[in-house]
């Protein structure tokens, strides 16, 4: 009512005065308390930010009672971000929490935030003599469906100290992890001096999963509670017969001095839902003859790669990789040659006639190597052609699209004659000068979701999940899953979808593409709201937040 009165007064003033420039809406104030989720303990030195990165950015730091106040906050939809210090006090490097609000002009809003504390895992790595092993790399390993396949990724790492002790920080609570110890020799000699006879070689270190398993399947899964300090995650490293891999690396004009890397094929570096973690694998450089003899290899699958840096030292100009299997003997006669960057071009086309009104925005096509930090970006008119200016290394990439025009969705992506939609792009795998073809379609619709409590009140900051009603596999199910957060009015409007049946859920549980969560979602489909999306349709669905368990 008060706001209405102010509005009427303003209207009256406007009727009497000459036209004035449009007034900036009166800013408001956002204040509250940041606490530890679960315990309610106030958190000090937390950076609270609104309008991050923009001209309207406002920041505050919580006091000893966890209080903060953000002044002069622009009205409208705002996301409040709280970033706690990490364990060593680095501001903004610890866990975070967000809340979305709608701030009215001049409003003083109270927004409390609860920060979920990460966990920590500590343990000791010992050898067969129960001796501590310094300098061992201990990885936090997570499994996740990415680009249509289940893969294992490193998500964090630590190194054992002189007593063999390691500490893994920033462990996401509720997520299933494995802990693996491995010895990484950073700088490999191209020609190993390991004995010719495998029988007199020192057994090699096998990547060992807690507590003493040679593979991820045999590991003991670890799930931490918020803020939990899990101790005693001790690993006794396994050993196995040691073998050598011999061969020659070739450049454009035959054998040459080239960079090489070698590492187990799984787990790998790469991007997961919780961010990217990249680690240089063991490697070195051959002599001018290109010869290598790499030893201390346990039985298993390895990726051997060869690369040549670009002038200036930034990134690889040429590259190639091959999977090599070590069995029960040495492997020799391997030849691996550099491959130049491959020109990759393509086109964006419509399935059916293009819209009557031309689209003046461009589609962003981004690729990132599944296990490396190699990236490529291109932009295309819609419809229109595109090219990755610098070409792409012959590697396996995930593909994402940005700025998909409203009312359209990506119906298919082909490379050569094969669909790679929700799969990986293996550059160089298609015959001839194969190109990418991105097919956009306009026959889809979207879903308008609203999350409410049992009394019909909106529920903000709830995860809304759109799932395909049918899928051939969990991998496909995970690839087709769409998620978003409900806003202050409990609403979320999903992206454009292909016509078909979908199941929609709302939950406060953490959603990711780990096999554990995907399995829960698969089982929870029967508890969701089934929705049929038709061309141009936007069915509305009201959801109550449910646990996936």
Partner 1 sequence: MPPVQPGDGARRSVRYLAFLLVAMRTLTAAGIEGRVVEDHTGNPLASVEVRIAKAGQRTLAAQLETDSSGQFRAQGLTEGEYQIDATKSNFIGVTLRVAGLPGPLTLRLVRCGVITGQVMDAQGQPMLGVMVYAMPKPVSGPLMPYAAPVPGTYMRVNERGEYRLHSLPPGEYAVAAAYGASTAMFGSSGGADVRPAIGSGVQIYPTLQRPRFFTVAGGEAYRNVDFAIVPTALHNVSGKVVLPDPKTRYWLALTTAEQPGLATAVTGTSADGSFRFEGIADGSYTLTASGPITGYGGKGMLGAPVHFGRMPISVAADISDLTVPVQKGSSVAFLLRAPAGAQGAGGCPSAAQVALTALEDFATRIDRTGAINAVKEQPVADLAPTKYQVGATGLGEGCYLASSTVLDLASGGHDAVVPVLVAPAGSIRGRLTGGADPRAFSIVLVAADAEAATNPLQVVNPDSSGKFGFGGLRPGRYRIAAQSAGAAGARWVTDAAHMLEIQIVAGAPTEMELPAPGKPQ
Site for partner 1, rule CB under 8 A: 45, 85, 87-93, 127-129, 131, 133-135, 159, 161-162, 186-187, 191-196, 200-202
- Return the residue matching tokens 């409990």: 490
Report which secondary-structure segment, H or E, holds 520: helix 515-524
Residue 195 or 276 having the CB closest to partner 1: 195
Could you tell me the smallest distance in angstroms from the CB atom of residue 167 to partner 1?
Answer: 8
In angstroms, the CA 90 to CA 465 distance is: 34
In the complex with partner 1, the residue whose CB is nearer, 53 or 89, is 89
Nearer to partner 1, 131 or 301 (CB): 131
Report, in Å, the least distance between residue 147 CB and partner 1: 29
The angle at the Cα of 290, spanning 281 to 280, to the nearest 5 degrees, equals 10
Shortest Å distance, C-beta 135 to partner 1:
5
- Report in angstroms how near the CB of residue 196 gets to partner 1 at its nearest: 5
| Ramachandran bin of 536, using left for φ above 0, alpha for ψ from -120 to 50, beta for the remaining angles | left
Residue 307 Ramachandran class (φ > 0 left, ψ -120 to 50 alpha, else beta): beta
Give the residue with the Cβ less far from partner 1, 191 or 216: 191
φ/ψ region of 240 (left if φ > 0, alpha if ψ in -120 to 50, else beta) reads: beta
Contact 413, 420 (CB under 8 A): yes
Q: What is the dihedral of CA 171, 213, 277, 269, to 10 degrees?
A: -160
Shortest distance in whole angstroms from residue 10 CB to partner 1 = 36
C-beta of 437: minimal distance to partner 1 in Å? 37
Q: How far is CA 68 from each of CA 34, 163, 173, 285, rounded to the nearest angstrom?
A: 8, 42, 26, 54
Smallest gap from residue 448 Cβ to partner 1 (A) = 40
Cβ-based nearer residue to partner 1, 133 or 224: 133
* Residue 332 or 473 with smaller CB distance to partner 1: 332
**446/354 Cα distance (integer angstroms):** 19
Provide the minimum distance between the beta carbon of 89 and partner 1 in the complex, in angstroms, as a whole number. Answer: 3
Cα 164 from Cα 282, distance rounded (Å):
21
* Cβ nearer to partner 1, comparing 284 with 445: 284
Residue 195 or 254 with smaller CB distance to partner 1: 195
Residue keyed to tokens 């792409």: 392
Cβ atoms of residues 100 and 84 within 8 Å: no
């Amino acid at each position: 009512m008060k706001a209405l009165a102010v509005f009427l007064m303003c209207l009256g003033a406007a009727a009497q005065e000459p036209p004035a420039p449009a007034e900036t809406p009166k800013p408001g104030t956002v204040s509250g308390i940041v606490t530890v989720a679960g315990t309610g303990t106030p958190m000090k030195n937390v950076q609270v930010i609104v309008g991050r990165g923009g001209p309207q950015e406002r920041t505050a730091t919580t006091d000893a009672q966890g209080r903060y106040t953000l002044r002069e906050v622009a009205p409208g939809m705002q996301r409040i971000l709280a970033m706690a210090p990490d364990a060593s006090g680095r501001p903004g490097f610890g866990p975070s929490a967000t809340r979305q609000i709608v701030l009215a002009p001049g409003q003083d809003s109270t927004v409390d935030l609860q920060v979920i504390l990460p966990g920590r895992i500590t343990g000791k790595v010992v050898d067969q003599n129960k001796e501590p092993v310094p300098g061992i790399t201990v990885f936090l390993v997570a499994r996740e469906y990415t680009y249509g396949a289940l893969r294992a990724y490193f998500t964090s790492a630590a190194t054992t100290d002189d007593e063999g002790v390691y500490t893994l920080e920033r462990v996401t609570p509720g997520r299933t992890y494995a802990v693996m110890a491995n010895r990484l020799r950073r700088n490999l000699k191209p020609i190993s001096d390991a004995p010719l006879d495998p029988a007199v070689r020192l057994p090699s270190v096998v990547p060992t999963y807690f507590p003493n398993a040679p593979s991820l399947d045999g590991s003991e899964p670890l799930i931490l509670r918020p803020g939990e300090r899990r101790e005693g995650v001790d690993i006794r490293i396994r050993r196995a017969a040691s073998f050598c891999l011999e061969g020659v690396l070739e450049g454009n004009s035959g054998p040459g001095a080239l960079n090489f890397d070698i590492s187990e094929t799984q787990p790998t570096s790469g991007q997961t839902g919780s961010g990217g973690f990249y680690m240089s694998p063991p490697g070195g450089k051959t002599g001018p003859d290109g010869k290598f003899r790499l030893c201390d290899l346990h039985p298993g699958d390895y990726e051997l790669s060869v690369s040549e840096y670009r002038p200036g030292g930034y990134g690889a100009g040429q590259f190639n990789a091959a999977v090599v299997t070590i069995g029960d003997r040495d492997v020799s006669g391997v030849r691996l040659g550099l491959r130049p960057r491959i020109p990759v071009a393509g086109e964006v086309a419509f399935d059916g006639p293009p819209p009557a009104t031309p689209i003046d925005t461009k589609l962003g096509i981004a690729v990132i190597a599944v296990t490396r930090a190699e990236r490529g970006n291109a932009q295309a008119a819609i419809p229109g052609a595109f090219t990755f200016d610098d070409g792409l290394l012959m590697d396996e990439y995930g593909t994402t699209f940005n700025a998909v025009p409203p009312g359209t969705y990506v119906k298919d992506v082909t490379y050569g004659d094969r669909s790679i939609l929700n799969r990986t792009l293996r550059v160089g795998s298609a015959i001839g000068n194969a190109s990418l073809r991105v097919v956009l379609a306009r026959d889809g619709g979207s879903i308008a979701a609203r999350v409410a409590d049992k009394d019909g009140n909106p529920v903000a900051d709830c995860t809304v999940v759109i799932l395909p009603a049918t899928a051939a596999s969990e991998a496909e199910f995970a690839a087709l899953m769409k998620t978003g957060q409900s806003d202050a009015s409990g609403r979320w409007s999903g992206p454009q979808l292909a016509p078909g049946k979908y199941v929609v859920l709302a939950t406060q549980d953490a959603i990711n593409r780990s096999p554990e969560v995907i399995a829960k979602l698969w089982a929870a489909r029967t508890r969701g709201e089934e929705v049929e999306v038709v061309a141009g349709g936007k069915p509305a669905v009201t959801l109550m937040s449910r646990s996936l368990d």
